Amino acid sequence: MDVIIENLPQYWDGFLRTLFLSLVSGIIALIFGTVLAAARVSPVAALRGFSMTYVEIVRNTPLTIAFFFAAVVLPRLGVTFQQFEVAAIIALSAYTSAFIAEAVRSGVNSVPVGQAEAARSIGMKFSQVLTLIILPQALRTVIPPLINILIALVKNSSVAGAFYVLELFGQGKQLANANGDAVMWVLVGVAFFYLLITIPLGYLASVVERKVAIAR
Amino acid sequence: MSSVLYDVPGPKARRVSLIGSIIGVIVIGGLLVLAVMTLAQQGIFDPKRWAVFQLPEVWALIAAGIGATLAAAAVAAVIAFPLGLLLCLMRISDNAWVRVPTRIVLEFLRGMPVVLMMLFVLLVFATSSFVAVVAGLVLYNSAIFAEIIRAGVQSLPKGQREAGLAIGLTSFQSRLTVELPQAIRRMLPSLVAQLVVLLKDTSLGYIVAYGELLRAVQVMADFLGPQYLFPVFFVAAAIYIAIDLAVSRLAIWLERRGSKRAAGGVAHVPVAGIPVAK
């Protein structure tokens, strides 16, 4: 137990970095994922094709490969970063946006047909139908799955710890090396900090599911 | 292609869309060409670099990597599924003394990164990296399997259980012989989709130094020299993605087939950030 209390500053540092990675990647992924979903339902065939291909490939790419690409392969190809956090954010947001796009698309499909028909019949064009009528309703219905994706994102950010970023998992690995006699408690501490983010988020998802989201 | 979201495009809209598509293709193609040219400048397409694939040893290492990946995934899946079934039965048990602790354990397992569990098993129990990878995958995925099957059981009409109890089955017998078979069948697409996740997660074994495909790439690049990193990585990533795509296709096929065959169709339940393809 002592080892956790003694190293609280490192834990806290890692915790904040995990939060930072998740938050920045989450925001980028939400925006990019929504754009991808919009492209997927758009009238332009090239956009549909691009979005479909991107989602299909990225969803089936192991996260470690995405990280390996961003952190190891990219620098050797001349794309260098000052900090490895940038590589982690690239990998995480590119990976997560594919899942967000799928979720938002299923939300778009869940909006009753009449909504789009009514919007079109009063003369709205596609961009207006989507941004004013469909997306606001679609995003609302997919809040619980989106929160679940964000939970997965927080957990996925742990992979960054293996690619030179000292977030929670990376700090845990270092502490485990430094405190060979108390490895178990070190890792229990790491687990505690992860649960500190994921369990409240999970609770939030179930509350939102029950109360806020509109039933159809 | 018509959609409820927009009017069937007229000649003008079709022309605009076509021009937009062509510009888009040109832009993406341009970016690709730029990337390829940057790579070419670095000598990536130097035939010498790709000549490594003439070495049988390289293919042997790649094959060993694939073998290790598939072995970990297969062993983990075979253990995780029955365990998930058991956890599911405990999670929906009538006895609160069983149900509540199981629920806490499941929440705990689902809230933790898989790689942390792998590291925990590796360091605390001082196991081989294979055992650590399998244990991490089993712990996490059995929890997810349990939640998926539970969602399946709950999606069944109430009458199934009532009928089971009415003909004199015990609660447990009704679960086992009436509800679970239907639940598993309904959730088959989600279960296979989770298998894809499990397969993808074997790549986390890289972090705990398990000799899976990505680690094999790293070993080769270290051994042959960094100039071979890109070709080897490229081939390995392509193989990894191809395997995952194949299993995903299987999930989609099962879903299409299942929605015709399974009573009441198959259900979609997004679990823990893995939205099921619709």
A interface test, pick of B2, B4, B137 with most A CB neighbours within 10 Å: B4
Q: Which of B9, B13, B123 sits opposite A183 (nearest CB)?
A: B123
Average pLDDT of the residues of chain B: 84
> If DSSP codes are grouped into helix, strand and coil, which group holds residue A50?
helix
Q: Which of A149, A187, A195 sits opposite B124 (nearest CB)?
A: A187
Smallest CA–CA distance, residue A35 to chain B, in Å, is: 15
User: Look-up: residue for tokens 């594919």?
Assistant: A98
CB of B276 within 8 A of CB of B190? yes
Smallest CA–CA distance, residue B179 to chain A, in Å, is: 25
Burial class (CB within 10 angstroms; exposed 0-12, middle 13-18, buried 19+) of B19 = exposed
Q: Does A170 touch chain B (CB under 8 A)?
A: no
As a whole number of angstroms, the distance between CA A118 and CA A71 comes to 48
CB of A187 within 8 A of CB of A176? yes
Q: Nearest 5°: CA angle at B116, between B106 and B144?
A: 30
* Closest residue of chain A to B244, computed from CA coordinates: A60
B interface test, pick of A18, A41, A56, A60 with most B CB neighbours within 10 Å: A60
- The DSSP 8-state label assigned to residue B83 in this structure reads H
Residues 154-193, chain B, touching A (beta carbon < 8 A): none
Tell me whether residues A183 and B39 touch, CB distance under 8 A: no
Q: A123-143 pLDDT, tens per residue?
A: 898 889 999 999 998 888 888
Q: Is the pLDDT of residue B237 over 70?
A: yes
CB of A95 within 8 A of CB of B244? no
Q: Which of B5, B204, B278 sits opposite A130 (nearest CB)?
A: B5
Q: Which of A120, A187, A195 sits opposite B123 (nearest CB)?
A: A187
CB of B140 within 8 A of CB of B79? no
Q: Which of B4, B39, B119 sits opposite A173 (nearest CB)?
A: B119
Q: Does B24 touch chain A (CB under 8 A)?
A: yes
Choice among A131-135, B30-34, B104-108 with the minimum mean pLDDT: B30-34
Spans of chain A, pLDDT less than 70: 77, 212-216
CB of B204 within 8 A of CB of B117? no
Q: B62-71 pLDDT, tens per residue?
A: 888 899 999 9
Choice among A24-38, B2-16, B239-253 with the minimum mean pLDDT: B2-16
B interface test, pick of A57, A68, A128, A175 with most B CB neighbours within 10 Å: A68
CB of A61 within 8 A of CB of A156? no
User: Is residue B2 very low, low, confident or very high in pLDDT (cuts 50, 70, 90)?
Assistant: low
Smallest CA–CA distance, residue B172 to chain A, in Å, is: 28
Choice among A178-182, B38-42, B155-159 with the minimum mean pLDDT: B38-42
Phi-psi region of B128 (alpha: psi -120 to 50; beta: other; left: phi over 0): beta
Smallest CA–CA distance, residue B161 to chain A, in Å, is: 25
User: Is residue B23 very low, low, confident or very high in pLDDT (cuts 50, 70, 90)?
Assistant: confident
- The DSSP 8-state label assigned to residue A213 in this structure reads S
B interface test, pick of A35, A36, A65 with most B CB neighbours within 10 Å: A65
- The DSSP 8-state label assigned to residue B2 in this structure reads -
Tell me whether residues A169 and B229 touch, CB distance under 8 A: no
- CA distances in angstroms from B119 to A105, A126, A156, A188, listed in the order given: 36, 50, 15, 11
Both ends of chain B: CA-CA distance in Å?
18
The pair phi, psi for residue B128, each rounded to 5°, is -70, 160
* Closest residue of chain A to B120, computed from CA coordinates: A187
Dig out the tokens for A53 from the structure: 């291909």
As a whole number of angstroms, the distance between CA B80 and CA B184 comes to 14
- pLDDT for the residue B271: 42
> If DSSP codes are grouped into helix, strand and coil, which group holds residue A211?
coil
Nearest of A67, A59, A11 to residue A189 by alpha carbon: A11
A interface test, pick of B6, B49, B230, B252 with most A CB neighbours within 10 Å: B6
Q: Is the pLDDT of residue B269 over 50?
A: no
As a whole number of angstroms, the distance between CA B136 and CA B212 comes to 15
Tell me whether residues A56 and B245 touch, CB distance under 8 A: yes
Q: Does B209 touch chain A (CB under 8 A)?
A: no
- CA distances in angstroms from B197 to B193, B194, B272, listed in the order given: 7, 5, 11
Tell me whether residues A145 and B275 touch, CB distance under 8 A: yes
User: Is residue B275 very low, low, confident or very high in pLDDT (cuts 50, 70, 90)?
Assistant: very low
Interface A-B, measured as beta-carbon pairs within 8 A, has a size of 179
Q: Does A53 touch chain B (CB under 8 A)?
A: no
CB of A150 within 8 A of CB of A200? no
Higher pLDDT, B63 or B231: B63
What is the sign, positive or negative, of the torsion defined by CA atoms of B247, B253, B255, B257? negative
Q: Is the pLDDT of residue B73 over 90?
A: yes
Mean pLDDT of B136-162: 93
As a whole number of angstroms, the distance between CA B90 and CA B96 comes to 10
Q: Which of B107, B112, B202 sits opposite A194 (nearest CB)?
A: B112
The pair phi, psi for residue B271, each rounded to 5°, is -120, 130
As a whole number of angstroms, the distance between CA A2 and CA A97 comes to 40
Q: Does B225 touch chain A (CB under 8 A)?
A: no
As a whole number of angstroms, the distance between CA B159 and CA A89 comes to 49
For residue A198, list chain B residues with Cβ-Cβ distance below 8 A. Answer: 110-112
Q: Does B113 touch chain A (CB under 8 A)?
A: yes
